[in-house]
Structure formats: structure tokens, C-alpha cells
Amino acid sequence: MNTRTPLIAGNWKMYKTNSEAVQTAGRLVELVADTADVDIMIAPVFTALDPVSKVVGGSRVGLGAQNLYWEKEGAYTGEISADMLVSAGCRYVIIGHSERRQYFGETDDTVNKKIRAALDAGLIPVLCIGETEDEREAGQTFSVLDKQVKSGLKEYVADDLAALVIAYEPVWAIGTGKSATTDQAQEAHNYIRSLIKDSFGPAFADAVRILYGGSVKPANISQLMDMPDIDGALVGGASLDADSFSRIVKFK
Ligand code: PGA
């Protein structure tokens, strides 16, 4: 048995106005008040962070952002720094989500800089990696993961990364209703852990949490969590509803 505390994280993407976000967060706080031995995070849009932080403050639910910019401050119109996220109540930040890689030019290089900024500010970075359908069909899954992990974490040492969380999200499983099978997910997670072991040593590889993301629902979470290398989930669609997300949180 490993000693990794599961993390169930909700990525709200570009959904919910402030009043909707506050309402969902408030309901979630009530529904998960009786949980233990699981970390919980929700990541609303930037504009909802401050009001949601007032609702989740002191509760079982931690607050995360969906992105950041690596500079501390400056003439970077439209961007938000790690310290600004901390000041809005965040403890976590999602970095390198496939939608950011696909639509907003995120690369392993920008991911690498963002992780540094997050760690320097005391945020927990949730690094997202995963292959596309074409890459999987071409037999490139492991080489894609290899590159994303090695380039994304280039020039770090294990001591820097103690807070790091990795999320394996096969792009073909995101928002499609087509989750990876438990065997496919376990195989990828095990491979990612072996990459981490090669680069950062066995103690860190044993401690780092690797979440699965891609069409996680109340109906499939417990099978996924039964896998030895799956330490939680990054949930999109099913995190938007407090009731369904709380059922994922209570997967046991
Ligand atoms: P999904 O999204 O749960 O809606 O598939 C997961 C994600 O993008 O993090």
C-alpha cells in the first residue's frame, strides 16, 4: 500500500458566472464536510476565484486556478501571476492543460517556466500531460509522455518538486465520454512513475501523486482508484455539478 493521499480535483474550465460558481462551491462544501483522507480542489475561472475563496475558506475544499503567467508583474496585458493567485486564495494551479496546449500555444517550455513560478509562490502545480488519439494509434504514447515529463520538468531536482502533482489526461478521453480503460490508465501511470524515478529517484517517485483525467464520472471513479498508480482524478464535466463531484470525492 502506498501512503499517497488521493486528490480529487475539479477543473471548471470556462463555465459558471460568479453567482453560479459561489452557489456550486457552497453546495460542495456542505456535501464533502464529512470526508477525510482525501484532498479536494476546485478550479473556477479567474474572475470567480476571490468570491469562491470566501465560500471554501476553512472547508475541506481547496482552491485552484486553471493557468498563470510566469513573470511576477509587468506589462503583460491579460495575464495573471502566481502571487496574484495566492492573494486570491489559491493553493493549487493547473499547468499545461491540453486545451491550453491546443488552443493557446502552451508548450513544454512555457509549462516549465510556469511550474517554477508556481513553486516559488508556494502553489501546488498540477502538471497535465497526455497523448492525442493519433499519437496513441501511432504507438507514440510513451514517447509523448517521456518528452512532456522530461521537457516540462527540465532542470528541476527532486527537492524543488515536493509539491508537484501530475495529471495524466489522454486528450482523446477529455470531454468525450470515452474514458481510458483502467488498464490503459494504469499502464500510463506506471510508465510516468518510472520516468519520475529515472529522473528524480525512487523516494520522490513513490511520493508523487499522479491523477487520471478524461471522462471521470461517479460511475467509473472507484475502478480507476483501485489501480496502484492512480492517486486521484482531474475532473472536468462531472465537476460542474456539486452532487456528482461529491460522489467522485467519496469514491470509497
Ligand atoms: P472531462 O475533462 O472530465 O470533461 O473529460 C477533464 C479535463 O479536461 O481535465
Model confidence over 160-170: pLDDT tens digits?
A: 999 999 999 99
Q: How many CB atoms lie within 10 A of CB 200?
A: 20
Mark whether 169 is an active-site residue: yes
Give 96-122 as a DSSP string: S-HHHHHHS---HHHHHHHHHHHHHTT
Mark whether 189 is an active-site residue: no
Nearest Cα residue to atom 9 of ligand 1: 236
Q: Which residue among 93, 171, 174 has the greatest number of ligand 1 atoms within 8 angstroms of its CB, and so is best to mutate?
A: 174
What ligand 1 atom has the least distance to the C-alpha of 11?
A: 9
Q: pLDDT (tens digit, 0 to 9) for every residue of the chain, 252 residues total?
A: 678 999 999 999 999 999 999 999 999 999 999 999 999 999 999 999 999 999 999 999 999 999 999 999 999 999 999 999 999 999 999 999 999 999 999 999 999 999 999 999 999 999 999 999 999 999 999 999 999 999 999 999 999 999 999 999 999 999 998 889 999 999 999 999 999 999 999 999 999 999 999 999 999 999 999 999 999 999 999 999 999 999 999 998
pLDDT recorded at residue 2: 79
Nearest Cα residue to atom 1 of ligand 1: 236
Q: Which residue among 210, 234, 244 has the greatest number of ligand 1 atoms within 8 angstroms of its CB, and so is best to mutate?
A: 234
For 46-86, the pLDDT digits (tens) are 999 999 999 999 999 999 999 999 999 999 999 999 999 99
Nearest Cα residue to atom 7 of ligand 1: 236
pLDDT recorded at residue 1: 63
Helix axes 46-56, 18-31, angle to 10 degrees: 30
55: which 3 cell numbers?
465560500
pLDDT recorded at residue 72: 97
- Is this structure's pTM higher than 0.85? yes
What ligand 1 atom has the least distance to the C-alpha of 215?
A: 5
Q: How far is CA 76 from the centre of its chain?
A: 25
What ligand 1 atom has the least distance to the C-alpha of 173?
A: 5
pLDDT recorded at residue 192: 98
Q: Per the residue annotation, which of 97, 99, 106, 135 is the catalytic one?
A: 97
